[in-house]
Amino acid sequence: MTWTKIMPARPVVAVAGATGAVGAEFLRVLHDLDFPASEVRALASARSAGKKLPFDGCGDVPAGDLTVQEMTPKSFEGVDIALFSCGASVSKQLREAVVRAGAVMIDNSSAFRMDADVPLVVPEVNPGDIAWHSGVIANPNCSTIQMVVALKPLYDLARITRVVVSTYQAASGAGAPAMAELYDQTREFLDGKADDELTVEAFQHRIAFNCIPHIDKFLDDRSTKEEWKMVVETKKIMGDERIRVAATCVRVPVLRCHGEAVNVEFADEVSVEAARAALAAAPGVTLLDDPAENAYPMPGLLAGTNDTYVGRIRRDDTVDHGLALWVVADQIRKGAALNAVQIAQLLLP
């Protein structure tokens, strides 16, 4: 059953998980896009109730601190759009209350992404899919979002048959405490602390001066769930079950912005020149690809940006019709908060 609610022009917006890494970015993006909210509610766990969060304002909401409220099923009364970033179990617990209150839930967790009645939307790729939601729209995994933004203009040149991707994922992809752990561990490591004296909580191993080829849990086939997400979500968003995706996901000691080395195989020839022209013209993409000037996207320099940056575009001669590229985006913005608010913009009358 599709949703029949008529979205008001000045919706009430709830930010669920407002104290987290993505939640803080939601507040920044709502301001940056001047989202036409009539009210913004900051929700989090009981731990954060009463905390003040700085907000620069948007729509009818003036700049000033927002007071965090404890999130309960009643929090969604009068809400039109609920932006969720509290993890999958919390989203599952609250889904019914949100939908019953008449709000549309835009969820950043993996809870509902592959459900048949939940569209998985990247506005540059499949904006039309919001038409069939029934109260919940899922924001894809951050690594998948930036990859499909880069793949879509290439797919429009020739059908993509296979993608091989290796990710270089920032510590903040695991939340605000993980980013703090990278800072603290780096300091401790430089202070000469031994490995067994370091605080290791956010990741399975030390992240400072290390790379960890393990994101989310291991599955029976020895891949990780993060890798599986890139495989299945790419097919759903691109609307093509035939695309084969092989992913290796790696956590690296970068604070913010994921990098991805992507090898793409097409059904027909796509020249480097045609790919560059298509990417340069694509919405949400910045082409940064000038080897003569040492110009290519770098995660350490792109925090806080909105676009998906693509560079190092070259032929992959190991397959018949292949290209290789390097893709970087701020995974807290385009990979989470920005993409979700762009979905909310699509819901406006």
User: Looking at the annotation, which residues are catalytic?
Assistant: 142, 258
| Helix or strand holding residue 153 (H, E) | helix 142-155
> Any contact of residue 17 with ligand NAP (CB under 6 A)?
yes
Among residues 57, 87, 102, 127, the one that binds ligand NAP under rule CB under 6 A: 87
Instruction: Output the smallest distance, CB 21 to ligand NAP, in A.
Output: 4
Q: Which two tokens stand for residue 292?
A: 């003569």
Instruction: Output the smallest distance, CB 44 to ligand NAP, in A.
Output: 4
Among residues 82, 90, 165, 285, the one that binds ligand NAP under rule CB under 6 A: 90
> Any contact of residue 140 with ligand NAP (CB under 6 A)?
no
> Any contact of residue 338 with ligand NAP (CB under 6 A)?
no
Decide the pairing of beta strands 81-84 and 12-16.
Answer: parallel
> Any contact of residue 53 with ligand NAP (CB under 6 A)?
no
> Any contact of residue 48 with ligand NAP (CB under 6 A)?
yes
> Any contact of residue 332 with ligand NAP (CB under 6 A)?
yes
Contact 339, 268 (CB under 8 A): no
DSSP per-residue letters across 222-273: S-BHHHHHHHHHHHHHHT-TT-EEEEEEEE-S-SS-EEEEEEEEESS---HH
Interatomic CA distance for residues 220 and 210, integer angstroms: 26
Among residues 331, 333, 338, 344, the one that binds ligand NAP under rule CB under 6 A: 331
DSSP per-residue letters across 72-135: -GGGGTT-SEEEE-S-HHHHHHHHHHHHHTTPEEEE-SSSSTT-TTS-B--TTT-GGGGGG-SS
> Any contact of residue 255 with ligand NAP (CB under 6 A)?
no
Nearer to ligand NAP, 108 or 161 (CB): 108
| Exposure letters 28-47 (e unless 16+ CB within 10 A, then b) | bbbbbbebbbeebbbbbeee
Interatomic CA distance for residues 222 and 202, integer angstroms: 21
> Any contact of residue 175 with ligand NAP (CB under 6 A)?
yes
Among residues 14, 21, 138, 327, the one that binds ligand NAP under rule CB under 6 A: 21
Nearer to ligand NAP, 11 or 173 (CB): 173
The piece of 27-35, 120-128, 155-163, 175-183 that touches ligand NAP (CB under 6 A) is 175-183
Among residues 11, 23, 119, 299, the one that binds ligand NAP under rule CB under 6 A: 23
Q: What amino acid is encoded at 287 in this protein?
A: L
Q: Which two tokens stand for residue 249?
A: 């996901």
> Any contact of residue 108 with ligand NAP (CB under 6 A)?
yes
The piece of 12-20, 200-208, 235-243, 261-269 that touches ligand NAP (CB under 6 A) is 12-20
Interatomic CA distance for residues 342 and 336, integer angstroms: 10
Interatomic CA distance for residues 267 and 103, integer angstroms: 42
Instruction: Output the smallest distance, CB 110 to ligand NAP, in A.
Output: 7
The piece of 85-93, 119-127, 130-138, 245-253 that touches ligand NAP (CB under 6 A) is 85-93
Nearer to ligand NAP, 20 or 284 (CB): 20
> Any contact of residue 45 with ligand NAP (CB under 6 A)?
yes
Nearer to ligand NAP, 180 or 298 (CB): 180
Q: What amino acid is encoded at 66 in this protein?
A: L
Nearer to ligand NAP, 44 or 105 (CB): 44
> Any contact of residue 137 with ligand NAP (CB under 6 A)?
no
Residue with tokens 């896009």: 33
Q: Is 274 exposed, middle or buried (0-12, 13-18, 19+ CB in 10 A)?
A: middle
Please give the residue ranges that form the binding site for ligand NAP (CB under 6 A).
17-23, 44-45, 47-48, 71, 85-88, 90, 108-109, 142, 172-173, 175-177, 331-332, 335-336
